Structure 1
Amino acid sequence: MDPFGILYTDLYQLTMGQVYFRMGLHEREALFEAFYRKNPDYGAHQAGYTVFAGLDPLLSWMETARFGEEELAALRALKSRSGKPLFAEDYLAYLRGMGGFSGLTLRALPEGRVAHPQVPLVSVEGPLLQAQLLETALLNRLSYETLIATKASRVREAAGEAVVLEFGLRRAPAKGGESATRASLIGGANRSSAVSLSHLLGLPASGTHAHSLVQAFLALGHSEEEAFQAFAEVFPDDTILLLDTVDTLHSGLPHALRVFERLRRKGHRPVGVRIDSGDLAYLAIQVAKELDRAGFSEVLIVLSGDLDELVIWQIKSQILEEAPRYGVDPDRLLRRLVYGVGTRMVVSWGAPALGMVYKLVAVREDGAWAPAMKVSDSLEKVLNPGHKKVFRVYDERGLATADLLALAEEEVGEERPLALHHPSDPAKRRTLRPGTFALEPLLEEAFRGRRLFAPLSLEVLQERRRKDVARLDPGVRRLVNPHVYHVSLTEKLFALKEALLRKLEEA
């Protein structure tokens, strides 16, 4: 039995399914939405947006996940507290006949695009039982990849035009390392050290060597320079040497320079050096100075070692301030830097979970959608009910100014004034005049019994992110204390939400 098959779920999805089946509700049309409530908060810095990722793996899984004989045997083996079978045979027979998720339709935000809190990322429509069984797998795939793609996008923001390498596979959560690599590349990393996934995504893997190479040579009585020379002889056109095993400036750098000179005499061009510890900004300045003096001004300087967006930002700030003191052009130095980011990207350091949720928002009754409601003492947890559509609102500058939730049946256009309501505060609203805004529908049909498009290339997903981030207000893109992006409701949706809340309060 495939451990990542259709039983890759929580038990309560299956027990709720049996309740629906017993009550005759299992084929009632239902509508669920997946969204998250808050942007990641990393403590010292915060995200002003996320990057949606994980949709393609979810769609592929949905096409293949099935209740086969092994899965049914596993369910048949589960017992209640009284020792009786937990699941009845007629329910298991129904699951066998149902197979998988062929009855569902998914509308989703295109993968790679920017997303915001409370806005539906995926809308799932179909038989209640099938839609319920999808919850765990959907959240598992979308939540983690979105979290990592967001972290990578922030690293990209900090790095600017510099190359970003992802090499967190060793520190990622087991099989989640594959998802982390994919999401990191969608979010803005240029290359990855992960060999298999890089190959599958059509990218060459990137890497240098570890400290252990130098350590092995030293332990056997050889020198650091001999370790460097051995690497250069095997990879003369791909030589990147790690400088900090012994002493970056007084051992690693002079030894690397001698090896680089031998390569040059043989007609080869050394690629770079890597620094993995110490004061990375100061060391980069000193290494650049000596490389320039020796005529290796094109050699790249790779920085690694617990980097994230805030550390990269600080490194760049220090270089801009300190490099001129040593006669090094800071702008030129920044252009030759490469950032290797591992652990802090693939575990979303500081914000390890996105908190995405999957909520029932409507059920079909007498041919129409009956809105479902959930209340909470926390305003952010009060559901936006009903069958909805989503728009992105652009201002006169062409920048995204709000995401707007509307009821599916209402007409929303650019030719008349548009009222935007705060989701929970009746006093907060604004009206946009025609000619001052543009609307873009966000959710697209992605699955109707089967996936509706082939897997998209990494370049397409990366370009979506680039375009969306470029259309965010600079305040929303800030790495620290970003401006709050507005998510609003139309008048009709706001009125429906208020009416349902009053009804529940009177019940």
Structure 2
Amino acid sequence: MTQFNKRNISMMMDLYEMTMANAYFSNQNENKRVAFDVFYRKNPDNGGFAIFAGLEQIIEYVENLHFDSDDIEYLKSLNLFNQEFLDYLSNFTFKGDIYAFQEGTIIYPNEPIITVIAPLIDAQLVETAILTQINHQSLIATKTRRIVSAADGRIVSDFGARRAHNMDAAVYGARAAYIGGVSSTSNIMAGKEFKIPISGTMAHSWVMYYKDEYEAFKYYAKKYPDSAVFLVDTYDVINSGIPNAIRVAKEILEPMGKRLKGVRLDSGDLAYLSKKVRSMLDDADLNDCKIFVSNSLDEYTITSLLGQGSKIDGFGVGERLITAKSDPVFGAVYKIAAVEENNTFESRIKVSENIEKITNPGLKKVYRVYCEDGKAISDLITKEDEVVDMDKPYRYIDPEKPWKNRYFKNFRVKELQKLVVKDGKKVYNSPNLEDIRSYVEQQLQTEIWKEEQRFENPHKHYLNMSPCYYELKMSLLHKLDTELQGKTDIEKIK
């Protein structure tokens, strides 16, 4: 982005990344290659899926990762780092590889959305920046899709800039919202930077500035006769706002050969008012005039409004979209999966008393499995070197019911991760934002089960494993458990 690229954001990292990197450097481990996976554990709002967004900004970050002289001076002032390490950072560039799902992919918990394979320090330093982008944009894209789905084909516009947590959140949030399906944004900078259509009407201050409502609407109509949308709830929707809007439509716009494009309601009983307004507009032969509403909307309020038979053509959604208010934490994590030893990657696994926090170890591949009608039936994790042959019945393991013999028959698979960065440089053609947005829509219309798209009790999309991969995971768990049990027995003897 033009403005944001003027800043060097390489230092956007947590302190522990830098302190660990300093220690790795002191132990001469900086060139040992490791693999980290990025995944999340739970869909927002207990939904059936999420949307992957933010990849383009991750690639921009790693390609431009460097430390300026003032960065080095600041790090030196902390008295935490060896001078040799600071000298190393002064010439640092990211030298790793990144594999990722295509941006806009429908994603599910516990599968590696991104895998970073890089020298140890390189892999460690990019953790926070990667998570920041994924956690924010994937959250907003996912929330937006829920809102757009609730609108059931009606227009949804992003009105959230002024309620975002800061300027960057407003701009990148608008990008994510467009991926999620909004038709436009009120954010001019997002429109400029990402070519998102922009839209807006007027504020109450416009109406209040003039002596009366009719005068306010009249001046606006004369200035913007091709796009006149009036905010009609400043004083009294039924007795003032709509009568004045109709009067301007008849006295100002129609003599110019123009039509009133719409009216907006921003307060009150939106369902009741929309019905009254629709009737008044139709009686005035303004059947083509659209009714837009705003005011703390989300998927639940929109569902309720439509369930009440409201006559609404479009929604301006702000704070509850741009902050994902109902569930504002996406929760993606960055966990080491393998360490290179003697030119071979050895698997690593994190163990926890909370089963959901046990990681999936090692280098791996992720496939989406499709049945004959093109629907995605599940996802599948295999070892990196496995070949998946669906020309014959393919046995797989359901980790939740590993004792059952399960087979895919007459299915096809698509590998989800692709190499996007090689030796620190971008190596694939990024889709434009329109293509990312269309990709989301195509998946939801043709590949993803409608049962997974329900708001309440959505169908669970299963993440299965090949027998070889499942055995790898179990063997690591058994080995660690045996070692820990042996230590406990020794303590008991002592």
TM bin (shorter chain) = over 0.9
177, 182, 194: which one pairs with 1:184? 177
**What SS does the aligned partner of 1:446 have?**
strand
1-structure distance, mates of 2:467, 2:8: 43
Pick from 33, 38, 41: which aligns with 1:34? 38
Of 225, 239, 243, the match for 1:236: 225
Matched, 1:396 2:388: no
Please say if 1:468 is aligned against 2:443. yes
Offset at residue 418 of structure 1 (A): 2.1
Q: Deviations over 1:184-235 (max 9, x none)?
A: 0011001000011112222342100011112222xxxx11111111211211
| Residue-by-residue CA offset, 1:366-419 (whole Å, 9 max, x unaligned) | 121100010011111101101001100112321111111111011112112223
1:478 is aligned to 454
Could you tell me which residue of structure 1 aligns to residue 205 of structure 2? Answer: 212
Residue range with higher mean Cα deviation, 424-433 or 2-11: 424-433
Moved more, 165-174 or 481-490: 481-490
Quote the residue 1:24 is aligned against. Answer: 28
Equivalent in the alignment of 2:85: 91
1:74-153 superposed matches below 5 A? 74-78=74-78, 85-97=79-91, 99-101=92-94, 103-153=95-145
Q: 1:315 aligns with which of 285, 299, 305?
A: 305
Residue 59 of structure 1 is matched in structure 2 by 59
Computed over aligned residues only, the root mean square deviation of the Cα atoms, in angstroms, reads 1.6
Range that drifts further, 346-355 or 423-432: 423-432
Q: Give yes or no for contact 1:310–1:479 (8 Å, CA) kept in 2.
A: no
SS at match of 1:285: helix
Q: Does the 8 A contact of 1:191 with 1:204 survive in 2?
A: yes
- Tell me whether 1:494 sits opposite 2:470 in the alignment: yes
Residue aligning to 2:279: 289
Instruction: State whether residues 396 and 405 of structure 2, in contact with CA within 8 Å, keep that contact through their aligned partners in structure 1.
Output: yes
1:439 is aligned, of 396, 403, 413, to 413
How far apart are residue 427 of structure 1 and its match?
3.6
Per the TM alignment, residue 341 of structure 1 is displaced from its structure 2 partner at its CA by 0.7
User: Which deviations, in whole Å up to 9, do the C-alpha atoms of 1:127-164 show, x marking residues without a partner?
Assistant: 01100111000000111100000011111211122111
Amino acid at match of 2:36: F
Paired residues for 1:309-388 under 5 Å: 309-319=299-309, 333=311, 337-388=313-364
Specify the SS of the correspondent of 1:61.
Answer: helix
Given the alignment, which residue of 452, 462, 482 partners 1:506?
482
In the alignment, the residues of structure 1 paired with residue 404 and residue 264 of structure 2 have an alpha-carbon distance, to the nearest angstrom, of 52
C-alpha displacement of 1:454: 4.9
Per-residue CA deviations over 1:334-374 (Å, capped at 9, x if unaligned) read 6xx01111110000011111110000000111121100010
How far is 1:453 from its partner? 3.5
1:7-43: CA deviation from partner (whole Å, max 9, x where unpaired)? 11000000111121122221101000101000012xx
Q: Look up the SS of the partner of 2:308 in the other structure.
A: helix
How far apart are the structure 1 equivalents of 2:103 and 2:333? 18
Q: Is the contact between residue 379 and residue 424 of structure 1 (CA under 8 Å) also seen in structure 2?
A: no
| 8 Å contact kept, 2:390–2:408 | no
**What is the SS of the residue equivalent to 1:232?**
helix
Which secondary structure state, in structure 2, belongs to the residue aligned with residue 110 of structure 1?
A: coil
Q: TM-score normalized by structure 2?
A: 0.93
Change (3 A) 1:2 1:231: closer
How far the C-alpha of 1:313 sits from its partner, in A, is 1.4
Unaligned runs of 5+ in 1: 79-84, 324-332
Q: Which amino acid is the alignment partner of residue 412 of structure 2?
A: A
Separation in structure 2 between the aligned mates of residue 313 and residue 414 of structure 1, nearest angstrom: 41
Query: Could you tell me which amino acid in structure 2 is paired with residue 91 of structure 1?
Result: F
Q: Do the aligned partners of residues 231 and 134 (structure 1) sit closer, same or farther apart at CA in structure 2, a change above 3 Å counting?
A: same
Distance in 2 (CA, whole Å) between partners of 1:55 and 1:168 is: 22
Instruction: State whether residues 99 and 417 of structure 2, in contact with CA within 8 Å, keep that contact through their aligned partners in structure 1.
Output: yes
The question of whether the paired residues in 1 share the 8 Å contact of 2:346 and 2:362 is answered with yes
Equivalent of residue 298 in structure 1, options 279, 282, 288: 288
Query: Residues of 2 paired with 1:346 and 1:185: CA distance?
Result: 11
Letter in 2 for 1:159: A
Alignment partner of 1:226 is 2:230: no
| Residue type at the aligned position of 2:199 | S
* Paired residue type of 1:364: E
Deviation at 1:4, TM superposition (A): 5.1
Q: Is the 8 A contact 1:106 1:122 kept in 2?
A: yes
Task: Provide TM-score, normalisation by structure 1.
Answer: 0.91
> Is the CA contact (8 Å cut-off) linking 1:199 and 1:205 kept in structure 2?
no
Cα shift at 1:282: 1.8
8 A contact 2:37–2:114 mirrored in 1 = yes
Match of 2:267, SS state, is coil
Deviation at 1:428?
Answer: 5.5
Distance 1:431 1:250 in 2: 67
Q: In structure 2, what residue type is equivalent to 1:292?
A: D
Identical amino acids, percent of aligned pairs: 35
Aligned to 2:236: 247
Aligned to 2:73: 73
Deviation readout 1:477-497 (Å, 9 max, x if unpaired) = 002221111111111111111
Q: Is the 8 A contact 1:413 1:439 kept in 2?
A: no
Does the CA-based 8 Å contact 1:423-1:488 persist in structure 2?
Answer: yes
Aligned 8 A contact 1:37 1:380 in 2 = yes
* Residue type of the alignment partner of 2:239: H
Q: Distance in 1 between matches of 2:98 and 2:453?
A: 29
In 2, the alpha carbon distance for the partners of 1:468 and 1:107 equals 21
2:489 is aligned to: none
What is the correspondence of 1:418-457 to structure 2 with a 5 Å cutoff? 418-427=394-403, 430-433=406-409, 435=410, 437-448=411-422, 449-457=424-432
CA contact (8 A) 1:107 1:124 kept: yes
Give distance in 2, aligned partners of 1:58 and 1:285.
46
Unmatched tracts of structure 2, length 5 or more: 484-494
What amino acid is the match of 1:214?
V
Q: What residue number does 1:162 align with?
A: 154
- Tell me the secondary structure at the aligned position of residue 13 of structure 2: coil
Partners of 1:166 and 1:39 in 2: CA distance: 22
Equivalent residues, number: 475
